[in-house]
Each structure stands twice: as structure tokens, then as C-alpha cells.
Amino acid sequence: MKELIAASLKYQGGKVQVLDQYLLPHQEVWHTCQDVASMQSLINNLQVRGAPLIGLAATLLVAYLAEQGAEKSQLCEAIDALEATRPTAVNLKHCMDCLRQALQQTQYAGAIVQSAERLFDEDVALCQRIGEHGVELVEAGDNILTHCNTGALATAGIGTALGVIYTASKQLANIHVWVDETRPLLQGGRLTAYELARWQIPYTLLCDSMAASLMAAGKVDKIFVGADRIAANGDFANKVGTYNLAVLAKFHNIPFYVVAPKTTFDANCAQGSEIEIEQRSATEVTGVSGSFGECQWASENASVFNPAFDVTPASLVTAWVFDSGVYYRPEFRAI
């Protein structure tokens, strides 16, 4: 397999390596992954995260196993096991389905490697086109609010929603970003702020509950968020807290844009209510942990509701930005 290098994932020197996003921004540690159990652990522990990147990381691991001479049955088991790791994001299923097709070919090992290379390169190109389309919605001087992390850390390219912001910053003056810290895993505070700082894009970090007062004060011009799965009717699942922003944006008449590659669109899912929402550990709410250590502030017996995602109805979306273009409501249709 050829060298494939992204901000947080690479295949180099015959090894699959991932940047540990759990340890960012204080430590930049790369892990070598050589087996399915290790990749499952990395994904479940959010050391590897972001819908496109999860799919690509799993794909590169399967391609690595194919190159190492794994038998067809072993590769099939690996694909099934990896797909089951995270249920909400459709990109993982898309990638694993592509590998299943490659597995049907006579020279299946080579076909899997070719598929992995194609999917990786395709994601880079998708992100580039998303940025080109999305920048048309941005004006110089905009104050843009975003949620969670949708940048280069979450993809093989420049990112989705954050990729639009990155593209805008290169073409337009005085772009400023409001960054939701994004409870309970702080991917905005840890990762989006980290990326914006590296890109030298001005930003301000805020608690999720502060977004409403910002909008009321007229300090938010537009909202750009990513998506982990988009249903056929335009409903979409994204990091929990996104639905809150959409409702607030509607009340304050602020444009609300969903940004994603075509691999996030699920034509087999009719509406958002059909999207399986992953429930995560209570410890992510009862305290906080990271490279800085751990702190538990709630009672050990506290009852916790911790969905990783929520679903935002299409009626609250101003437009969907795909690599194929910008689609406005009610003209949204299958891409």
C-alpha cells in the first residue's frame, strides 16, 4: 500500500498509525495499530474519532491485515467487528461495505488495498470540494459558531464544517470563530481550538450553555456544524448539543448549515428517528478526564443520561453543504 498521510492518521513504513486525540492538545502521541482489538479500543476510547476518520482508520487496518496475508474469513470477521464499533456514524459502514465488495474479487487482498487507497484519497478530495462550496456562504468579517470538532483531525483532508471555515479564512478577511467546548467530551475545547490555533484563525472558546446569549446579543452571524449521519429527508445526527443550536438559530434568525461528505448521507434511512443513537459511559458526565488527569465531581451512584449524539430535524436547517454542492430547504434531495 502506498503512503497515506493525514493530520491524525497515516500508513507509512508498512504501519498503520493514529494520533491519540484523547491526549490532545497537551500531548501528541502516535499509536501503531496492528490488530482489530487494538483498533476497536482506539475508536471506542475516542483516541480515533470523527465519522470520516473512523471509517478510514478501520479501512487501513483491514488493508494492512490483507497485506500481511490474512485469510478471507479473517478479513470478513475483521470487517464485521470493526463496523460494530460505533453504530451512529454511517461513514464506517460505507467503508466496510466497500471492503466487502473488494473481498468478493479473486485477488481480494490487492482489491482491498486499492479500495483503502481510493477511499483515503477520495476523502481528501471530498473535503476540498466541501470547502469550495461552503465558502460561498461566508462573508468577510463573519463571526461563525461551530460545535464539536470537524477539522483535519476528523478526516483525511481539511475537514468538513471546519474545512469550510479554514477555506474562508484563506480567502476572506476578519473571520472569527466561536467554539463550543462541546460537553461532555470537550472536543471543541480540546480539538477545534487546537486546530484553529495551528491554522492561526482567531477564535473564542465558550461553554455550550453560553451560545444563546451570544446569539441574542447579535454576535453570531452563521452556524456551521458537521454530521455523523444524514437521513434521506435531511434530518441528521451530530454530536449532542447540535439540536440545541439549531433551535436557538431558528429563534434568532441565524443561518444554520450542515456540512458533510456524501459518505455521510444514508439513503436507506428515511428519517432521523431511525438513526441509532449511541449511549456512552456515565463517567463522561460525572467528571472529566484527559491528558491532564481525572476529576470526578458527581456522586458515584449518580444516574446519568449520556447520548453521544442528538438528531436535528431538517426543518431547522438552512442548507446542507456537500461535496456536490449546496442544497437548500425545501429543495433538499438525495445527493
Instruction: Give catalytic residue positions.
Output: 228
What is the rounded CA–CA span in Å between residue 215 and residue 49?
A: 29
- Tally of CB atoms within 10 A around 332: 17
Which runs of consecutive H residues, i.e. helices, occur in 29-183?
36-44, 51-67, 72-83, 90-103, 108-134, 161-171
What is the rounded CA–CA span in Å between residue 291 and residue 269?
A: 38
The three cell numbers locating residue 163: 474545512
**284: enclosing H helix or E strand:** helix 283-286
What is the rounded CA–CA span in Å between residue 317 and residue 332?
A: 10
What is the rounded CA–CA span in Å between residue 159 and residue 263?
A: 13
Q: Which residues are 9's β-sheet partners?
A: 18
Question: Cα 73 from chain centroid?
Answer: 30
List phi, psi (to 5°) of 41.
-65, -45
Is residue 127 within 8 Å of 112, Cβ to Cβ?
Answer: no
**243: enclosing H helix or E strand:** helix 242-252
Is residue 193 within 8 Å of 146, Cβ to Cβ?
Answer: no
Q: First vs last Cα of the chain: how many Å apart? A: 31
Residues whose CB is less than 8 angstroms from the CB of residue 49 and which lie 6 or more positions away in sequence, other chains included: 21, 43, 149, 153, 154, 187
